[in-house]
Structure 1
Amino acid sequence: MSKVVLITGGSSGIGKSVGEFLSKKGFIVYGTSRKPQNIENHPFKLVALDVNDIESISKAVSEVIKSEGKLDVLINNAGMGITGSIEDTPTTEMRKVFDTNLFGAIDVMKAVLPQMRAQKSGLIINVTSIAGYMGLPFRGIYSATKGALEIVTEAIRMEVKSFGIEVTNVAPGDFATNIASGRYHTPIFEDSPYKEKYQENLNLMDAHVDSGGDPLEMATAIYKIIQTPKPKIHYKVGDFMQKFSIVLKKILPDKVYEKLLMNHYKL
């Protein structure tokens, strides 16, 4: 029987690419969107789901299980970006990103676990970020949300293993998607001491996304993970230097690594 896959944030970007790829491989794929009725000619089914609304999550998961009788794979992909200096960024906006990227992902995991436990099988793939392995200037809150999800995954993976459920992280680098348009950008305040450096770094971030890799690379990586009986805890998908930056952080003295980042971001 074909595996049933649920992808949060499946209407665009990486989620859409992954869903389309898996559909072509014979999987039964459901994506999610807050307003699926506004999306036409989508390559796979969409259900309404808002990761910040527990009732919405429960309803969407129940709909998939009622239709298919099972749920084999959850790809926790929904997320949002945020940029700005820590000092200038409103704390309320920081909390919104944590609610989406961390607590939203946790609530979706909570919703699918009873079904997977009943099946004695299941796979949860949490899409994090290479940025989650380091504190990046003007992206510190985004890095923190993804780093937190990496750690939560390590913990829940051990908690559910005896039920036949596998959990893993996939950390992408920069890919050519529309993520920049969905970010919360802290305004460039005229009186901010970070004004010039923040603007320079915004331009750098957008350039990285525009010149990023093909999301099909993520789709291929996730397909391989689904086909792996015992997935690893962490996967990284991106160009060599993005992945190597994680290795450098492990082997270099903290201040040397910090200096490399500051030079890269022209600080």
Structure 2
Amino acid sequence: MEKKVVLITGGSSGIGKAIGRFLTAKGFVVYGTTRNISKHPDFSDFELIELNVTDTASIKNATEQVIGKEGRLDILVNNAGVGITGAIEETPDDEIAKAFNTNFNGPIRVMKQVMPHMRAQGGGVIINITSIAGYMGLPFRGIYSATKGALTLVSEAMRMEAKDFNIKIVCLAPGDFATNIAAGRYHAPVVEGSPYEETYSRILEDIDKDVDSGEDPIEVAKAVYNIVERSNPRPQVLVGKRMQKLSVALKRLLPQKWFEKLMCNHYRL
């Protein structure tokens, strides 16, 4: 049986690296991507190529490199993304635009590049790594929530558009996992004298603690494997701590005022 070919954006560390290592061990042909290949001279877990999701030419070059070598591309994992925190009122417009350009526009660019190849070969699987945060507006993470929520809705629309092409589009939404995302996240500065100073400073500390105490990214990798092994995967898959997954159910079931009261109690707002 021919091995399936996988492309994982943001594959040099964290969740992307865990997915790549797991799928490699399962016999898949894996290509991970990074914005700057020169920063990873000793990377050997699987093949790493250069791709910047904000650059259409870079995406085209990377995709053609994989297909030129392997003759096909069966699975795309849109994992590359950035974190952003801050009171929306105090978050610079250019940082908001950057977050959307990477987390929302980026995956769309990659999908637009690979879908014609998948259609020509008779099908494929696209897994968009969203977030449990994308199901609700989290205080001081509202922009991040919005980028991931927008990607979830676009994935829903594209899934219906692509249903006749045997291209399966799945959103995989992790909760907090122990990765280096906090180190690369944009933090709007805590401004002395700001009306948000006390609450944002405290919540920012809690956010970083949640990541540090998060679950092993291997759980996300296992979820990816389960998706690609299914002939008819669920459109949306949540993976994370029980309470984080429960919050999505509560968001759907409770009146909005009740849900927001629960959130405010949780964040001590």
| 1:57-76 CA distance string (max 9 Å, x none) | 00000000001000000000
Matched residue SS, 1:168: strand
- The equivalent residue for 1:122 is 124
Q: Which runs of 5+ in 2 are unaligned?
A: none
- The equivalent residue for 2:235 is 233
Calculate the TM-score normalised by the size of structure 1.
0.99
Q: One-letter code of the match for 2:56?
A: I
Q: How far does residue 232 in structure 1 lie from its aligned partner after superposition?
A: 1.1
Matched residue SS, 2:252: helix
Hey, what's the Cα distance between the residues in 2 that align with 1:258 and 1:99? 28
| 1:123-143 CA distance string (max 9 Å, x none) | 000000000000000000000
- The equivalent residue for 1:25 is 26
| 1:222-248 CA distance string (max 9 Å, x none) | 001000011111000011100000111
Matched residue SS, 1:99: helix
- The equivalent residue for 1:85 is 87
Matched residue SS, 1:87: helix
Q: One-letter code of the match for 2:247?
A: S
Q: One-letter code of the match for 1:10?
A: G
- The equivalent residue for 1:139 is 141
- The equivalent residue for 1:167 is 169
Q: How far does residue 164 in structure 1 lie from its aligned partner after superposition?
A: 1.3
| 1:22-42 CA distance string (max 9 Å, x none) | 000000000000112221133
- The equivalent residue for 2:160 is 158
Name whichever of 38-47 and 179-188 sits farther off: 38-47
Hey, what's the Cα distance between the residues in 1 that align with 2:119 and 2:255? 43
1:104 partnered with 2:106: yes
Matched residue SS, 2:250: helix
Matched residue SS, 1:26: coil
Matched residue SS, 1:80: coil
- The equivalent residue for 1:203 is 205
1:64 corresponds, among 63, 66, 87, to 66
Hey, what's the Cα distance between the residues in 1 that align with 2:131 and 2:119? 28
- The equivalent residue for 1:216 is 218
Q: One-letter code of the match for 1:36?
A: I
Calculate the TM-score normalised by the size of structure 2.
0.98
1:46 corresponds, among 36, 45, 48, to 48
Hey, what's the Cα distance between the residues in 2 that align with 1:70 and 1:190? 54
Using the aligned pairs only, state the percent identity. 58
Hey, what's the Cα distance between the residues in 1 that align with 2:162 and 2:43? 37
Hey, what's the Cα distance between the residues in 1 that align with 2:31 and 2:131? 23
- The equivalent residue for 1:73 is 75
- The equivalent residue for 1:251 is 253
Hey, what's the Cα distance between the residues in 2 that align with 1:46 and 1:64? 11
Hey, what's the Cα distance between the residues in 1 that align with 2:100 and 2:43? 32
Hey, what's the Cα distance between the residues in 1 that align with 2:114 and 2:252? 34
Matched residue SS, 1:114: helix
Hey, what's the Cα distance between the residues in 2 that align with 1:51 and 1:145? 14
Count matched residues: 267
Moved over 2 A (4+): none
Hey, what's the Cα distance between the residues in 2 that align with 1:110 and 1:37? 27
Q: One-letter code of the match for 2:167?
A: I
Q: One-letter code of the match for 2:239?
A: V
- The equivalent residue for 2:97 is 95
Q: How far does residue 157 in structure 1 lie from its aligned partner after superposition?
A: 0.5
Matched residue SS, 2:87: coil
- The equivalent residue for 1:6 is 7
Hey, what's the Cα distance between the residues in 1 that align with 2:234 and 2:223? 12
